[in-house]
Chain A
Amino acid sequence: MSELSMDITLTVNGEQVTERVEARKTLVDFVRDDLGLTGSHVGCEHGVCGACTMRVDGEIVRGCLMLAVQCDGAKVETIEGLSDSNELADLQSAFERRNALQCGFCTPGMLTAAQDILLQAKAKGAVPSRDEIREHISGNYCRCTGYHAIVDAVESVAIARAGAKS
């Protein structure tokens, strides 16, 4: 098994983790099955639906398109960590107030992708348009909401954050 498995050490939600993983295991299966972090979801397993979106070294990735062994030495952030750090608190609150989620299965990935455009907008000092928000979250499928409420929630946070900054 040795050539099929590998020891990796990485930081997950701020905690150092050392585990032996099969080389073929995807990052999302690793965080779900080995670490019990079930907030990252498995929808399509081929990089289309976005339910497994998480952050690796600051970039959003598809947890189903990355192998766990590729994350040796990396900093991984999942919805649980992003929640506990309060980084998403205003966005989560906006989703809840606007009912921008129904079944909630896409929501962790959707929030993570939405936070990504909000961070990009903040860096540019701009508020993204509804069309730009729609474009950015198009790699995250939601089958319940029809997206309108999600766009409303993200837009409201973009405006609020811009206002808070100025």
Chain B
Amino acid sequence: MKITSDSPPVLSVLDRPNSYIGRSVPRPNLHRLTQGRGQYISDITLPRMTHVAFLRSPHAHARIVSIGTVAAKKAPGVFAVVTGAELAKVMTPWVGVLTHLKGLKSAPQHPMAVDRACWQGEAVCAVVAKTRAQAEDACELIDIKYEELPATVDPEVALDAKTSVIHPELGDNLCFERSLDVGDVDKAFAASDEVVETTFMFGRHTGVTNEPRAVVADWNEGEQRMTVYQGTQAPHMMQNLFAKHLDLQESQVRVLTKDVGGSFGIKVHTYGDEMATVALSKMLKRPVKFVADRIESFVTDIHARDHRIKAKIGVTKDGTITAFEIDDLTGIGPYSVYPRTSGIEANQVVNLTGGPYTCMNYRAQTRVVFQNKGVMCQYRAVGHPIAVAVTEGLVELAAAKIGMDPLELRRRNLFPDDGYPAQTATGLKLEALSHHEALAHLDGMMNYAGLRTEQADLRKKGIYRGIGFASFIEVTNPSAAFYGVGGAKITSQDGATVKLDAQGAIVVHTGVTEQGQGAESVIAQCVASSFGVSMDKVRVVTGDTDNTPYGGGTWASRAAGIGGEAAWQAGKALRDNVLAVAAAMLQAKPETLDIRSGIVVDKASGTERLPLDELARVAYFRPDTLPPGFQAELMATRHYVPRGWPFAFTNGIQASYLEVDTDTGFVKLLKHWCVEDCGTIINPQLVDEQIRGGVVQGIGAALFEQCLYDERGQMLNGNMADYLVPMAVEMPDIECAHCVSPTADSELGAKGAGEAGTAGAPACVMNAINDALRPLGAAPLTDMPFTPGKILKALGKV
């Protein structure tokens, strides 16, 4: 475990020529994107393509009395007007449950509301027309009569006897609950010198992908086949779902994913409007396109993080954390989202709280309730930002209470670097982490002591700056433990197929998908390295269920760690195959040969023996010259799934340095640091940029982002002007560094890095604000986002 920013860990194979492991090579697919010549789903046009617009419920909860479609059907350009009831005849409903989340329940959900709309924005009627504008014009001619029903909005009263039950057949509004009691929590609190208790609130927010969700569905009646172009993270999962709910075989469905304009977990779920678009194509026997507009995105994209957590920590004067306790309540909208469910975030909060620390006394309860608001589900870093903010918020409040430096309190309680494997209080298995090394490195890289001096000096001048930290662990490389064991057809394994083309170049087909994180580059780096060619000889094909190995796609920080390992192994397998051909041609032993820079060489001397284009020429066009009985196999496939550990946990620590304007309540972020450990680093630049982008999404949660609803369940700020996302001018520079603790589960040793930034940033911004305001006697702020108004209130100024 060594701190590194650009050098790879020790792996013998990295001594090979053409090793791209640990190198910041530019991504091969960027040139077309900078020229505006990518192909996003919203760019796709097909012959005879139609457009669908949805009329959506203006009410949070309403019975649909009648839908008048006569005028709309006669409107210019309209091909069809289809109600939820009509669509229900061609597409079956779904229920978002997983069997390993015991007791989790939900109600059947149709692609469009059939007799009742359960949230503002639920699609009620669809219009298919020649253009989107004509479809929207016709929507205005539809006459829907609603009978408004009582809306259950506030999670705090969702379980009260007098609150109306959204789905009467379920008996109550409880979707899922879980409790845990480890060690002896009461005894531990009793033995503590100090107990700190507070309530954390997390603002419901959403991913705001710059490209909204988009799908083009094309049913070919002659082939009896559905081709779906979809901006999705998980093409094979969607193939399964489209087939299942249209009563087709999976072989009748092809899902193609082109460029995706941001996903962050938003585009890995089942959305009624997208399912409806696919069903409409089947009904109309022609292509149908749907692109969500921005208001549709805000009211129908999954939301996340709407949690209220009462939390408690015990600590002794010498800085030993004695116990953690949390009581979590979260409202997830009217349905558990299919197929990943809306219980996972709460489950993660229970699993991850206290995760970096050796404290073994932990009590947790979570309740997940239904309400008439937009649905919530998994968004980048699922549960982590909440668990980390609660844990790290408590840790810094406890440090302040006992008068101990917050880094020192962490040093005394973090899992020791030499104590792995280890297990957290919740039973999470940790293979190899580096909390202390990361903390020590952060301490130095930010010049912590110097900043404390600067902070003290500036306070005398009435300038209030704060320093906040957050240690964290992150779930990456999930095995089947995440979804597969719960019965969902979401694969945790992934595959890569590597082919030598007729000019000696390499084509890789991978089951993971490119969402902008650099998967294509990582896959190409792995194959180029293990096979032995330069990067420019490798082309990567992703996002096509007809042509890529069956795979999970991109989520839970799995693409590099799982997809990368499969690609690495496939490259090795093809090298062996190619060397067998070369050995036959050269009358040599395969083990005496190697492939370097696209040339078969003598392994010992490096002498060039045979260029790959010549080998390919012979193997493909003159196989008659090869020895009798010898068959060249110039395509190889390998799969990989983590088996040794349910998850490859990573760790890290972040710090925020900021200044609070005590007159306006505005927060100026000055600098942000992150030291994390994702095991073997395949591409340092891409890892750093994942961290930076993730940090800024976490800062958005801490300072700006919130889906605001009124008491009737109406979203109040469903546009980009009123829903604030981080802008360039508000963001700090972000410095990154890495420790390297590879996972022994794979040969590459890579873990995931996509969510670490988002996991830790909200906590350390919160802690830095509270650090800044502590000398002013402000009550600790624990209600995200920390708007100027809340800060002024904490200061007693408003």
Q: Could you tell me which A residues sit within 8 Å of B by CB distance?
A: 22, 24-25, 32, 37-46, 48-49, 51, 78-80, 83, 88, 92, 95-97, 99, 101-108, 111, 130-131, 133-135, 137-151
Contacts of A138 in B (CB 8 A): 727-730
Query: Do B695 and A105 touch (CB < 8 A)?
Result: no
Interface string of B4-45 (1 = CB under 8 A from A): 000000000000000000000011001101111111101100
Asked whether A79 and B26 contact (CB < 8 A) given A43-B211, A44-B719, the answer is no
Contacts of B733 in A (CB 8 A): 130, 148, 151
Asked whether A44 and B695 contact (CB < 8 A) given A141-B727, A146-B734, the answer is no
Closest to B723 in A: A48
Q: Does B225 contact A (CB under 8 A)?
A: no
Q: Does B209 contact A (CB under 8 A)?
A: yes
Query: Do A105 and B211 touch (CB < 8 A)?
Result: yes
Contacts of B40 in A (CB 8 A): 38, 41, 105
Task: Known pairs A39-B35, A146-B689, A146-B694; list 17 more (Cβ under 8 Å).
Answer: A46-B721, A48-B721, A99-B685, A103-B260, A104-B259, A105-B261, A105-B262, A135-B728, A137-B728, A141-B720, A144-B262, A144-B693, A145-B696, A146-B757, A148-B731, A148-B734, A149-B692
Query: Do B721 and A103 touch (CB < 8 A)?
Result: no
Most buried by A among B208, B692, B727: B727
In Å, the complex CA distance between A140 and B689 comes to 18
In Å, the complex CA distance between A105 and B728 comes to 16
Q: Could you tell me which B residues sit within 8 Å of A by CB distance?
A: 26-27, 30-31, 33-40, 42-43, 133, 207-212, 259-264, 291, 293-294, 515-518, 685-686, 689, 692-697, 719-721, 725-731, 733-734, 757
Query: Do B210 and A147 touch (CB < 8 A)?
Result: no
Q: Within the complex, which residue of B36, B212, B259, B518 is in contact with A80, where a contact is CB–CB below 8 Å?
A: B36
Asked whether A104 and B516 contact (CB < 8 A) given A147-B696, A148-B692, A149-B692, the answer is yes
Contacts of B260 in A (CB 8 A): 103
CB distance from A41 to the nearest CB of B (A): 7
Query: Do B43 and A38 touch (CB < 8 A)?
Result: yes
CB distance from A144 to the nearest CB of B (A): 5
Most buried by B among A103, A131, A140, A141: A103
Q: Within the complex, which residue of B263, B517, B720 is in contact with A46, where a contact is CB–CB below 8 Å?
A: B720
Asked whether A96 and B695 contact (CB < 8 A) given A39-B35, A46-B294, A137-B728, the answer is no
Interface CB pairs A-B, < 8 A, 5: A99-B26, A102-B689, A103-B515, A142-B728, A146-B696
Query: Do B261 and A103 touch (CB < 8 A)?
Result: yes
Closest to B515 in A: A103
Contacts of A104 in B (CB 8 A): 30, 33-34, 38, 259, 261, 516
Query: Do A49 and B210 touch (CB < 8 A)?
Result: yes
CB distance from B680 to the nearest CB of A (A): 19
Contacts of A103 in B (CB 8 A): 209-211, 259-263, 515-516
Closest to B297 in A: A44
Contacts of A135 in B (CB 8 A): 728-729
Closest to B517 in A: A102
In Å, the complex CA distance between A2 and B384 comes to 57
Contacts of B43 in A (CB 8 A): 32, 38
In Å, the complex CA distance between A99 and B30 comes to 8
Closest to A81 in B: B36
Contacts of A49 in B (CB 8 A): 210, 720
In Å, the complex CA distance between A24 and B208 comes to 26
Query: Do B35 and A80 touch (CB < 8 A)?
Result: yes
Query: Do B692 and A107 touch (CB < 8 A)?
Result: no
Query: Do A96 and B210 touch (CB < 8 A)?
Result: no
Contacts of B207 in A (CB 8 A): 143
Contacts of A37 in B (CB 8 A): 36
Closest to B761 in A: A146
Closest to A1 in B: B76
Q: Within the complex, which residue of B39, B518, B721, B729 is in contact with A99, where a contact is CB–CB below 8 Å?
A: B518
Closest to B29 in A: A104
Contacts of B685 in A (CB 8 A): 99
Q: Within the complex, which residue of A43, A78, A140 is in contact with B36, where a contact is CB–CB below 8 Å?
A: A78
Contacts of B517 in A (CB 8 A): 102
CB distance from B754 to the nearest CB of A (A): 11
CB distance from A159 to the nearest CB of B (A): 16
CB distance from A12 to the nearest CB of B (A): 13
CB distance from B263 to the nearest CB of A (A): 8
Query: Do A151 and B516 touch (CB < 8 A)?
Result: no
CB distance from A104 to the nearest CB of B (A): 3
Asked whether A41 and B34 contact (CB < 8 A) given A103-B515, A149-B689, the answer is no
Query: Do A145 and B30 touch (CB < 8 A)?
Result: no
Query: Do A107 and B27 touch (CB < 8 A)?
Result: no
Query: Do A43 and B294 touch (CB < 8 A)?
Result: yes
Query: Do B264 and A143 touch (CB < 8 A)?
Result: yes
Contacts of B697 in A (CB 8 A): 143, 146
Query: Do B262 and A95 touch (CB < 8 A)?
Result: no
Contacts of A45 in B (CB 8 A): 293-294
Closest to A93 in B: B34
Asked whether A96 and B30 contact (CB < 8 A) given A138-B728, A141-B725, the answer is yes
In Å, the complex CA distance between A101 and B515 comes to 11
Contacts of A38 in B (CB 8 A): 36, 39-40, 42-43
Query: Do B734 and A102 touch (CB < 8 A)?
Result: no
Closest to B209 in A: A143
CB distance from A115 to the nearest CB of B (A): 12
Contacts of B210 in A (CB 8 A): 41, 43, 49, 51, 103, 105-106, 141-143
In Å, the complex CA distance between A96 and B694 comes to 20
Contacts of B211 in A (CB 8 A): 41, 43, 103, 105
Query: Do A102 and B518 touch (CB < 8 A)?
Result: yes
Contacts of A95 in B (CB 8 A): 30, 34
Contacts of A97 in B (CB 8 A): 26
Contacts of A43 in B (CB 8 A): 210-212, 294, 720
Q: Within the complex, which residue of B34, B39, B291 is in contact with A111, where a contact is CB–CB below 8 Å?
A: B34
Query: Do B725 and A144 touch (CB < 8 A)?
Result: no
Contacts of B293 in A (CB 8 A): 45
Contacts of B719 in A (CB 8 A): 44, 46, 48
Query: Do B731 and A39 touch (CB < 8 A)?
Result: no
Closest to A42 in B: B42
In Å, the complex CA distance between A48 and B717 comes to 14
CB distance from B205 to the nearest CB of A (A): 12
Query: Do B27 and A134 touch (CB < 8 A)?
Result: no
CB distance from B698 to the nearest CB of A (A): 10
Contacts of A150 in B (CB 8 A): 728
Query: Do A44 and B720 touch (CB < 8 A)?
Result: yes
Most buried by B among A22, A49, A80: A49
Query: Do A143 and B35 touch (CB < 8 A)?
Result: no
CB distance from A86 to the nearest CB of B (A): 11
Most buried by A among B133, B207, B291, B728: B728
Most buried by A among B210, B695, B733: B210
In Å, the complex CA distance between A117 and B727 comes to 17
Query: Do B728 and A147 touch (CB < 8 A)?
Result: yes
CB distance from A85 to the nearest CB of B (A): 12
In Å, the complex CA distance between A101 and B262 comes to 11
CB distance from B728 to the nearest CB of A (A): 4
The 3 A-B pairs at the shortest CB distance, nearest first, are namely A39-B36, A103-B516, A104-B33
Query: Do A96 and B27 touch (CB < 8 A)?
Result: yes
In Å, the complex CA distance between A87 and B371 comes to 53
In Å, the complex CA distance between A107 and B35 comes to 9
Contacts of A146 in B (CB 8 A): 689, 692-697, 726, 731, 734, 757
Asked whether A96 and B516 contact (CB < 8 A) given A38-B36, A138-B729, the answer is no
Asked whether A134 and B728 contact (CB < 8 A) given A39-B35, A80-B36, the answer is yes
CB distance from B336 to the nearest CB of A (A): 26
CB distance from A90 to the nearest CB of B (A): 11
Contacts of B725 in A (CB 8 A): 141, 143
Query: Do B720 and A48 touch (CB < 8 A)?
Result: yes
Contacts of A78 in B (CB 8 A): 36
In Å, the complex CA distance between A150 and B692 comes to 11
Contacts of B518 in A (CB 8 A): 99, 102
In Å, the complex CA distance between A122 and B38 comes to 30
